[in-house]
Structure formats: structure tokens, C-alpha cells
Amino acid sequence: MKKTIKNNVSWVGKVDWELRRFHGDEYTTNHGSTYNSYLIQEEKNVLVDTVWLPYAGEFVENLAREIDLDQIDCIIANHGEVDHSGALPELLKRIPGTPVYCTANGVKSLKGQYHQDWNFQVVKTGDRLDVGNGKELVFVEMPMLHWPDSMATYLTGDNILFSNDAFGQHYASDRLYNDLVDQCDLHKEALKYYANILAPFSKMLQRKLGEIKSMNLDIDIIATSHGILWRENPLQIVEKYGEWAADYQENKITILYDTMWNGTRTLAEGIAEGIGLADPECEVMVFNLAKSDKNDLIAEVFRSKTVVVGSPTCNGGVLHSVAGFLHMLQELKLKNKKAATFGCYGWSGESTKLLNEMLAHGGFQVHGEGFKCLWNPDGDRQQAALAYGKEIAGL
Ligand SMILES: Cc1cc2nc3c(=O)[nH]c(=O)nc-3n(C[C@H](O)[C@H](O)[C@H](O)COP(=O)(O)O)c2cc1C
């Protein structure tokens, strides 16, 4: 169903209420998601992005109820990923030859996925497309936000920035706008999206935000490709991105562990108590990695100044939940974060050394050699864990 956004611009996307996993199993979408597609009906009719492949048929049928498909003059493909381009094959079967505006890298990613020689029209930053009634589309390349092909499109007159994945969140709602939804949930999902998907590209993002600011665009609405659109103080999310891209941290320490027989959990709780005693201002949170949502934990680490990671030694290594999580963390290349490690062992005790190596490889400033405990901690070792927590609070 079409929903008017402003004047002759409407939302024609899909709300995916039941989505719980995205990018395969890489990203948890506990609030579902949306695939936002937009229809601009000026003298020219322009479709901006489409929806995820499984909803292609439904999308094209719904669109055909809103507009005679032959009246669509062109399509803007801001990003070639299948959650935005998935309905192009179905749509272009119905209206072959319709121009598809995208970046040079967009041609590569779309051809690479769909193996079709569509009527591609390559655009670059600053290129303009007249849509009639005195309005134009202005294209802004956004390479690596988050694919080489990404771009944003700005509609003059209505002052709408179609930002694609930038500023988005996986958040399903029947409400379109930021001022109509739960603020806490919205900001949590926006930060989770940034931490898990965009954090590796923070340096590029800082440059791009500067470039967008220097274009002096009046922005009334940021129309994202996932989740909620920003219309109330839309630049608030641009400012947040500026903060997040600048080695973000809060006064927060996150303790993450897994355990077989609870010894390492006892250490985790002792360390947390020690930090709390030494620095009551610092928020400390403790999570069992095997029982928690890994993408929510990435967001917790992203917000933290220090992460403390524990695993018992198991078969000369660390537990797989911990190894898998640290593998994810390494890829995010977070900056300006400290780390410390701990774990129980029975004989060889490799876990802390291995954890230190993995964290150092991920760019963390690792403190010392880690806190080890032979078998289950007794009262003395519990006190020692508490003292270790006080030491970490002082890092
Ligand atoms: C399947 C298994 C494999 C283990 N392998 C090792 C090992 O290679 N080296 C070692 O020092 N301890 C090893 N241990 C001993 C544990 O590290 C020890 O029991 C520790 O106290 C468990 O900590 P937890 O209570 O946090 O699970 C192993 C224990 C189990 C159950």
C-alpha cells in the first residue's frame, strides 16, 4: 500500500514483520525490518530502490495497483544488494528497457548478481536528473557505505535524501517516522546497525559526512532503505553518525565469557564487583556469550571503553562461542578500546594467551597477560578476581 511522504513522493516498500535473521545468520533482527522503496510522481515517474527478492512478486503487483508500470520513466538503484534490488528482475521483465540509474560499481554488482544487460545509466557525485516541475535528483556516491556501489539520491524542492543503508535500522513498524516510534528502541537499533555493519568504514564515513555537509543540502527528510524515516530533526542521526565514527565510547565496561562448569562465570562476577567497587560511575555489564544475542553484544562492545573476555581452556583452546565472537569483533576494526582476559583451566591453561592474541589482532590495547585460575576458584582466587576487577577499572 502506497503511503504519501511529501507532496508527490510516496513509500511503496515492504514491512517484513517476521524477519529474525539477516545476512544469512550474521545479523539478528529482533524487531523485524522494512525494505523501503519510494515512488516520485512528478512530470517524470521515478522509482527509488525496490525490496528483497522473496517479496518481488508481491511488490510488483502492489506497485502496478498504484501506477501503470509503463508510466515509470526510470529506476534509481542506490545499492545493488538483494534486499534493495531483489525486485528488479521481476519489474524489468514487465518494463524492459527502463533506464536504471546507478554508480559504475552498481553496474558491476547488479550484473554480477542478476546476469542481465539492463539499460544502465551510470551516475557519479554531483550528477543531476531533471524530474520535472522544477525538481531534480542529485546523486552522491557513498562508496563502502557499505558496498563499493552504494550511493544516496537527493530530491531538490522536497529536500528528501534517499540515503539507502546509511542512517537505517532494522525496525519494522506501521509508522513511517522517527517521531512516532519508541525512541529508545529506535536509537538502539540504529546504533546496533552502525556497530555491526558500518563500523569498519568509520574513517570513510567521516570524510563522506564532511562532503555531504559541504554540499549545503537542506534536508527535511532522510528516507532510509531500512526501518524508520527521519523527519523530526533529521540531522540528529547525521550528528550521531559523526560521534559513532569518531572512535566512540561511553564510560562502560563489558565483560563477556563462556563456561563449562561455572568457574569462569564466578571469575566474571568477581571482576564485575571489583570494577564496581573501584569506579561506581562506570557501568559494568556481564554476558554469557553462549546465551546472548551476538549482534547486541557487538553493540555493547562498541559502546564500551574496555572489554573483558573470559573462557576456560578446552582442548588447548577457547570455547567456540568466544572464538566465534572474537572473530566477528576482529572484522569490525574498532579503535580506541582496551581489553583484558581471564579464564579457568585444569592443566595447560592456554585460554588467556589465545584470547590476548585474538584481541590484539582486532586492534584492542590488551592489558597484561590475563587472569588465570587453576580449576574452580576458591575464596582466595575469588578475592583475587575482585582485585583484578579493581585493576581493570583503573586502565
Ligand atoms: C572437554 C574438556 C577439555 C578440557 N581441556 C583442557 C585443556 O586442554 N587444558 C586445560 O588446562 N584444561 C582443560 N580442561 C579443564 C577445564 O579448563 C577446567 O575444568 C576449568 O576449571 C573449567 O572452567 P569452567 O568451570 O569455567 O568451565 C578441559 C575440560 C573439559 C571438560
ipTM of the predicted structure? Answer: 0.99
Ligand 1 environment, Cβ below 6 A: 259-264, 312-316, 344-349, 375-376
Catalytic-role residue among 16, 49, 101, 146: 146
Active site residue 320: no
In DSSP terms, 309 is beta-bridged to 256, 341
- Ligand 1 center from residue 290 Cα (angstroms): 16
Burial per residue of 73-90, b for 16 or more beta-carbon CB atoms within 10 angstroms, e otherwise: bbbbbbbbbbbbbbbbbb
Q: Residue 70: helix, strand or coil by DSSP? A: helix
Name, in order, each residue with C-beta under 8 angstroms of 370's C-beta and a sequence gap of 6 or more: 340, 341, 342, 343, 351, 352, 353, 355, 356
Assigned C-alpha cell, 368: 597484561
* Continuous H helices in the chain: 56-66, 82-85, 88-94, 104-114, 183-193, 202-214, 235-245, 263-278, 294-303, 320-332, 351-361, 379-393
- Whose grid coordinates read 531533471? 130
Active site residue 23: yes
Catalytic-role residue among 23, 320, 327, 361: 23
Active site residue 165: yes
Alpha carbon 73 to its chain's center: 32
Active site residue 130: no
- Ligand 1 center from residue 286 Cα (angstroms): 21
- pLDDT tens, N- to C-terminus, the chain (395 residues): 899 999 999 999 999 999 999 888 889 999 999 999 999 999 999 999 999 999 999 999 999 999 999 999 999 999 999 999 999 999 999 999 999 999 999 999 999 999 999 999 999 999 999 999 999 999 999 998 889 999 999 999 999 999 999 999 999 999 999 999 999 999 999 999 999 999 999 999 999 889 888 888 899 999 999 999 999 999 999 999 999 999 999 999 999 999 999 999 999 999 999 999 999 999 999 999 999 999 999 999 999 999 999 999 999 999 999 999 999 999 999 999 999 999 999 999 999 999 999 999 999 999 999 999 999 999 999 999 999 999 999 99
What CA–CA distance (Å, rounded) separates 162 from 38?
Answer: 9
DSSP for 89-148?
Answer: HHHHHHSTT--EEE-HHHHHHHHHHH-----EEE--TT-EEEEETTEEEEEEE-TTSSST
What CA–CA distance (Å, rounded) separates 239 from 187?
Answer: 13
In DSSP terms, 341 is beta-bridged to 309
- Ligand 1 center from residue 371 Cα (angstroms): 15
What CA–CA distance (Å, rounded) separates 338 from 249?
Answer: 11
For β-strands 74-76 and 100-102, DSSP reports them as parallel
φ, ψ of residue 204 in degrees (nearest 5): -65, -40
Q: Residue 74: helix, strand or coil by DSSP? A: strand
| Domains observed in the chain | 3-245 (3.60.15.10), 253-393 (3.40.50.360)
- Ligand 1 center from residue 71 Cα (angstroms): 67
Active site residue 257: no
Q: Reply yes or no: is the peptide bond before residue 327 cis, omega within 30 of 0.
A: no
What CA–CA distance (Å, rounded) separates 209 from 199?
Answer: 14
Catalytic-role residue among 16, 42, 49, 165: 165
